[in-house]
Chain A
Amino acid sequence: MLQLGHDQLLGAYRRMATIRAFEERLHDEIKTGEIGGFTHLYAGQEAVAVAICDQLTVEDKIVSTHRGHGHCIAKGCDVTGMMLEIYGRADGLCKGRGGSMHIADLAVGMLGANGIVGGGAPQAVGAALAAKVDGRGRVGVAFSGDGACNQGTTFEAMNLAVVTKAPAIFVFENNHYSEHTGDAYAVGTARDIASRAEAFGMKVWRADGCDFFATYEAFRELLEHVRGGGGPAAIELDTERFYGHFEGDPQRYRGPGELDRIRAERDCLKGFRARVTGAGLLTAAELDAVDAEVAALIDAAVATARAAADPDPATVADDVYVEYY
């Protein structure tokens, strides 16, 4: 299967399972009232983040969205540091200043989640232009949703990337909803986002984002094109979000049985497990062992986060500038 070796497959599974467990645990922990603010869970979309980030190096940059936990984990952010951040603790990845919507870790090439829908795409082009100057074949990747694809910033970013031949990659995760509105209503090009990118003059790919292997293969081709100097490219991935838009969303916009159906038929983790065990590449026991390790990791992260100290209120105005005036 795609010439992916045993360790690569197991690693991919580990990262997808980590995202799933992280989000499922948050879904429960948020109900305790200990976590404030807005939390947007990525569960259901794991195959996208992992199939893409597994093919990037630490020097490649990604920009994320309000639904950023999956991109963070896939790009290599520390899970405990993320959990601490979501609890608003002093030792969080962003010292508790950002929270779920603003996790960033520049050391791993994760330039930030973003509370502004459409805020990220131009920044990915900037990262791509910087990579072009450096000349080492690195890329800048923008993750955007079917909602973000309607922002002017996204359009401007695509055109800028095309005219500058920037090694920029636009990943459109079409989970069919922007908050409570369907893509059938809000995406004027008959739900099709890739055709927009194509119209801007770049090469596009489409894949089933719930199928890790299809996503991996399409992105492999895309990346070869971009790293090879072919200019920017886009990929649209058909995916599903398993929880509400944010935690607390009553999801009245879903059809009867829709959540049960997508969980039964469109679960990327189940699909992955069936494929690799069916092909004899990994055993169920190996995958179960990963699940157990991941569960322990998340347990420990939550325990650490719950016990950790909050930031000192006296530091509230620190970190505004590098150099104070």
Chain B
Amino acid sequence: MAIMNIREAILSTLHAEMERDGDIMLLGEDVVGGNGTAGGPEAIGGIWGTSTGLWAKFGPDRVIDTPISESAIIGAAAGAALAGKRPVAELMFADFVGVSMDQLWNQMAKFRYMFGGKTRCPAVVRMVYGAGMQTAAQHSQSVYALLTAIPGLKVVLPTTPADAKGLLTEALRGDDPVMFFEHKALYGVKGEVPEGEHRVPFGQARMVREGGDVTVVACGRMVNFAEKAADKLAAEGIGIDLLDLRTTSPMDEDAILDSVEQTGRLVVVDESPPRCSLAADVAALVAARAFTSLKAPPAMLTGPHAPIPFSRGLERAWLPSPQTIEGAVRRTLAFR
């Protein structure tokens, strides 16, 4: 086991996998950084620190700085994948899927189905998401629910360094397009990472802790918030089953249903606006498939139906927090 943060886990996985498989390519804005400047290529080495040293090791054919052209970045990844490569495209901010949506939604996601199962499109789109750093309405969004709704895409959200390695490796070994979400506030989270090959299969939620009283389902940064709430509640003898979904497409329905069958109470935490959200999706699943186990209505904790504001206090009010999660758990428990 090595101790590293999520940023380092992603970077070292890219190094290892690109070493292993000569078909893996990386493209994105400033993933090299410094091209066409006096400082020279790698003057920056990726603005998130997740591509440092790749250009020097694998060269400009496999590690490509692109102009600011998200539509072409995702489209080129789709095309390279059809042509037999394993491209990794980086969106500096997940919000920019807006610019590239057609290439994701009408193209990459649908090739295999439209072409009668004859094609594979093994592209990985890494994108940086999430609120909490006052990056405002166009640089803070968690668009995983939007992409989870698209048949043909797989959607992955690591919350630990070990999972970052395991899920990214799995994405790079698989043959379907994968949307890989990296929360900007989680890059520094440290943890143990298994050495050597480490794969985490998609569709298997992680039981972060078992407590038996209330099931809390979360993904991304909301898992960390829920852990804080669970710690507080544990001190009072309230036990939380905390599930980190890890992947929202495919989603581990069994893990959710198994837990709710035991607890009868569900809180879903989702860093999205409420409508057509992951929270609504999970709540609907439980209402439809575990109705008789329920002792309280499923609780959905999301942001409001509003864009993400800039001002610190407003942004805090927008986001779920350990405190609001704790409150939701208490209300669910109090329901008679």
Please list the residues of chain A having a beta carbon within 8 angstroms of any beta carbon in chain B: 36-38, 88-90, 96-99, 101-102, 114-118, 147-148, 150-153, 177-188, 252-256, 258, 310-311, 313-317, 320
Contact = CB atoms under 8 A, between A and B. Distances in A.
Contacts, number: 162
A256 B137 CA distance: 37
B82 to A, nearest CB: 20
Given A37-B133, A37-B134, A96-B314, A317 B99 contact: no
A313 B47 contact: no
Nearest to A94: B310
A178 B68 CA distance: 8
B36 A183 contact: yes
A151 B136 contact: no
B310 A96 contact: yes
B1 interface: no
Interface stretch (B37-45, B145-153, B213-221, B257-265): B37-45
Interface of B: 29-30, 33-40, 43-44, 47, 65, 67-72, 95-96, 98-99, 133-139, 304-307, 309-314, 316-318
The 8 closest A-B pairs by CB, nearest first: A185-B36, A182-B36, A255-B38, A99-B310, A36-B134, A88-B311, A115-B138, A313-B317
Contacts of A182: 34-37
Given A38-B135, A180-B30, A316-B304, A253 B311 contact: no
Contacts of B38: 253-256, 258
Nearest to A188: B67
Contacts of A88: 134, 310-314
A12 to B, nearest CB: 31
Contacts of A101: 136, 138-139
Given A99-B136, A179-B47, A254-B39, A148 B68 contact: yes
Contact of B307 (A89, A178, A253, A320): A320
Given A181-B35, A311-B311, 18 more contacts: A37-B310, A96-B314, A99-B311, A102-B136, A115-B137, A116-B98, A150-B69, A151-B99, A180-B34, A180-B37, A180-B39, A180-B44, A185-B35, A186-B35, A252-B39, A254-B37, A254-B38, A316-B309
Contact of A150 (B37, B68, B98): B68
Contact of A38 (B40, B139, B311): B139
A124 to B, nearest CB: 17
B312 A118 contact: no
